[in-house]
Chains A and B, each alone.
Chain A
């Protein structure tokens, strides 16, 4: 209990520090000014969200190989946390785009691909609700999760190619467009903070899933009697 509270405090501390750095330490950007600061949060959240899906993929592979329910718990926890982070990315993108371009959505390559990624993981979670028996649910969703993950690079590649045919404004030049050293430090600190948040949330969700699974077992045994 104390360990969890400590971890939570540490994560909150990191997030506050990252926010402070983003607003007060990083120098102001030439063209976008204050608005650009959302980039530290937006891009770092995207990275952490994608890392969560990587964790989900690993958990899916391990489940198919080992068939231990713990891997299933990790998979669904990582997927839900990843989905939450990606939702934030999809919301902060337009928040930046509206004042910058005057429109909410630009179908820019990265945002569009991220939206497809979001849809894939929604499908993963919906699939899970449509299968009742726990072992089937775990196996079939793990297999779908594997298919979804290997699709992701192809989705990004295809949409990026498509966008080269029909160029549109790019939401946030991002890490590719060279960052000034202080900005880079602030950015990577944000990345670290958000990954810490991601790990903490996955751990909490895992704990919840473990308890839920235990309750389910008891319920099924009671019903069988």
Chain B
């Protein structure tokens, strides 16, 4: 079930430094948002706050379902980070089974089978993740993120280190998720085939939102400006 995100005055301080300064955003259910910005602009922190991994110094994060007033607190966003967040010393199947069990999924085994097929790892299900190529590791990461069919998917520079084949697969997978109604928030470096999937773009700089296609900026300026 797609869910939306509401960030109200989210601030994150590390000592005296602000990673996020009073960020307020509403992401509607079903939106596919591209988050652009230089390194150190706060993209990763924002995503980790949204994933509930990082506790903000102040401010509030809520999720809501399509009926705007309903606050859906049980939302567990899927998160694809810089690292794959899976165990190298376990097989692909063991990793998925473990996380499925931890999330309390009914029919965990069946769900894992389906996912392994969907991400194209069925052949290598019993191989240790340690032996996987970068592209395959990314597939494991995405499979883990999709385990509980999340209404919100967060991705932090998901195309990093992928070859053209990997990127094509990623674009297709995200397209299907977007068309299926999943809310997506992903950080990217610049224009690419992936950014083309976005229905909205936001630019962060020094922890603040400085441009948003919602409020008039264009995709192009947000994404290319990011490379400057």
Task: Show the binding face of A for B, using Cβ within 8 Å.
Answer: 67, 133-135, 216-218, 220-221, 224
Q: Is B13 an interface residue (CB 8 A)?
A: yes
CA distance A77 to B14 in the complex (A): 22
Name the distance in Å between B14's Cβ and chain A's nearest Cβ: 6
Residues of A within 8 A of B102 (CB): none
Q: Which residues of A contact B15 (CB under 8 A)?
A: 133-135, 216-217, 220
- CB-nearest residue of chain B to A132: B15
- Give min CB distance, B95 to chain A, whole Å: 29
Interface members, chain B 1-49 (any A CB < 8 Å): 13-17
- Nearest chain A CB to B208's CB is how many angstroms away? 15
Q: B16 touching A220 by the CB < 8 A rule?
A: yes
A220 to chain B, nearest CB (A): 5
20 residue pairs bridging A and B, Cβ less than 8 Å apart? A67-B57, A133-B14, A133-B15, A134-B14, A134-B15, A134-B16, A135-B13, A135-B14, A135-B15, A216-B15, A216-B16, A217-B15, A217-B16, A218-B16, A220-B15, A220-B16, A220-B17, A221-B16, A221-B17, A224-B17
Add 9 more A-B contacts to A134-B16, A220-B16, A220-B17 (CB < 8 A): A67-B57, A133-B15, A134-B14, A134-B15, A135-B13, A216-B15, A220-B15, A221-B16, A221-B17
Cα-based distance from A67 to B16 in the complex (angstroms): 14
Interchain CA distance A133-B16 in the complex, whole Å: 10
B57-78: contact bitstring with A at CB < 8 Å (1 yes, 0 no)?
Answer: 1000000000000000000000
Which of the four size classes fits the interface of chain B?
A: under 10
Q: Contacts of A135 on B, CB cut-off 8 Å?
A: 13-15
Prevailing SS type, chain A contact patch = helix
Cβ of B177 to closest chain A Cβ, rounded Å: 35
Bound CA span A224–B14, Å: 12
The 8 closest A-B pairs by CB, nearest first: A217-B16, A134-B15, A220-B16, A221-B16, A220-B17, A220-B15, A224-B17, A133-B14
Q: Which residues of B contact A133 (CB under 8 A)?
A: 14-15
Report Cα–Cα, A217/B13, bound state, in Å.
Answer: 11
Provide the bound-state CA to CA distance between A37 and B57, in Å.
Answer: 53
A135 to B11, CA, bound (A): 14
Chain B residues, Cβ within 8 Å of A221:
16-17
| Chain A residue at smallest Cβ distance from B40 | A224
State in angstroms the CA–CA spacing of A166 and B17 once bound together. 56
A residues in contact with B17, CB < 8 Å = 220-221, 224
**For residue A67, which residue of chain B has the nearest CB?**
B57
Task: Determine which residue in B13, B14, B15, B57 has the highest number of CB atoms from chain A within 10 A of its CB, and name it.
Answer: B15
Please, how many angstroms separate the alpha-carbon atoms of A218 and B17 in the complex? 10
Q: How far is the CA of A133 from the CA of B13 in the complex (A)?
A: 11
How far apart sit A135 and B16, CA to CA, in the bound complex (Å)? 9
**Complex Cα distance A133/B14, Å?**
7
Contacts of A67 in B (CB 8 A): 57
Distance from A160 Cβ to chain B, minimum over Cβ atoms (Å): 41
Q: Which residues of B contact A224 (CB under 8 A)?
A: 17
Distance in angstroms between the alpha carbons of A67 and B56 in the assembled complex? 11
Determine the chain A residues whose CB is within 8 A of the CB of B57 once the complex forms. 67
Shortest Cβ distance from residue A66 to the other chain B in the assembled complex, whole angstroms: 12
Q: How far is the CA of A35 from the CA of B57 in the complex (A)?
A: 56
Q: Distance (Å) between the CB of B40 and the closest chain A CB?
A: 9
Chain A residues lying within 8 Å of B16, measured Cβ to Cβ, are: 134, 216-218, 220-221
Minimum distance in angstroms from B105 CB to a CB of chain A? 32
A192 to chain B, nearest CB (A): 39
Cα A135 to Cα B15 with chains together (Å): 6
Q: Who on chain B is nearest to A214 by CB?
A: B16
List residues of chain A with CB within 8 A of the CB of B14: 133-135
Min CB distance A118 to B, Å, is 30
CB distance from A91 to the nearest CB of B (A): 37
Task: Find the B residue at minimum CB distance from A221.
Answer: B16
Residue on B nearest A138 in the bound complex, by CB: B15
Q: Shortest distance in angstroms between A52's beta carbon and chain B's nearest beta carbon?
A: 26
Query: Once bound together, how far apart are the Cα atoms of A121 and B87, in whole Å?
Result: 37
CB distance from B184 to the nearest CB of A (A): 31
B13, B14, B16, B17: most-surrounded residue (chain A CB, <10 A): B16
